[in-house]
């Protein structure tokens, strides 16, 4: 019997068996059916067709259902607040982060003197060391700390002036 003829002959049995076993296994019947067909193709490549196809189908469906139940015991669903990266994977948060980075870069570019180059080097994606930054800017490594402090202070003052202070809530005194 050809593989196509075997599949056609077994299709109603596979569909019925998977529909019966799927709910108890916690898997969709179509997924279980697909696993059984894959198992048949793998067997066809190695051992040929089963001697008793109906018995083989029942055994294969039950084996795949057991496997799905074991997987369900090990796997746990992920709640939205358990997502890795502290909700960084949500599209809204990704867009907000990108806006924040653009605003920070724009503010850094408006700083006076050597501050834009220094803070730009500190914010670099490859996370350079102080020695690398000092070499890139052509200044001594010992002056980086005080210069960074002055630049960050200037950035804080600039951003504080741009951000509207929150209104007082509750009673005013």
Question: Which tokens go with 169?
Answer: 């809530």
Confidence of residue 31 (pLDDT cuts 50, 70, 90): very high
pLDDT, average across residues 14-36: 91
Q: What pLDDT, on a 0 to 100 scale, did the predictor assign at position 136?
A: 87
SS3 78: coil
Residue 10 has pLDDT above 80, yes or no: yes
Predicted model pTM: 0.45
Residue 34 has pLDDT above 90, yes or no: yes
Q: Are 65 and 27 in contact (CB under 8 A)?
A: yes
Q: Which residues contact 138 (CB under 8 A, 6 or more apart)?
A: none
Nearest residue to 110 via CA among 146, 161, 145 = 161
Q: What pLDDT, on a 0 to 100 scale, did the predictor assign at position 147?
A: 92
Q: How far apart are CA 7 and CA 37, in angstroms?
A: 8
Q: How far apart are CA 72 and CA 32, in angstroms?
A: 13
Residue 86 has pLDDT above 70, yes or no: no
SS3 80: helix
Locate the DSSP E strands across 5-147.
none
């Amino acid at each position: 019997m050809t593989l196509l003829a075997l599949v056609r002959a077994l299709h109603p049995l596979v569909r019925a068996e998977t529909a019966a076993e799927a709910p108890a296994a916690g898997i969709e019947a179509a997924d279980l059916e697909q696993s059984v067909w894959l198992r048949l193709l793998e067997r066809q490549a190695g051992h040929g067709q089963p001697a008793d196809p109906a018995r083989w189908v029942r055994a294969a469906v039950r084996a795949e259902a057991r496997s799905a139940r074991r997987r369900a015991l090990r796997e746990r669903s992920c709640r939205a607040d358990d997502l890795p990266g502290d909700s960084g994977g949500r599209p809204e948060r990704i867009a907000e982060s990108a806006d924040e980075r653009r605003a920070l870069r724009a503010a850094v570019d408006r700083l006076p003197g050597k501050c834009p180059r220094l803070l730009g080097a500190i914010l670099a994606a490859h996370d350079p060391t102080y020695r690398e930054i000092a070499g890139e800017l052509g200044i001594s490594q010992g002056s980086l700390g005080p210069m960074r402090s002055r630049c960050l202070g200037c950035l804080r003052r600039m951003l504080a002036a741009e951000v509207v202070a929150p209104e007082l809530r509750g009673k005013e005194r």
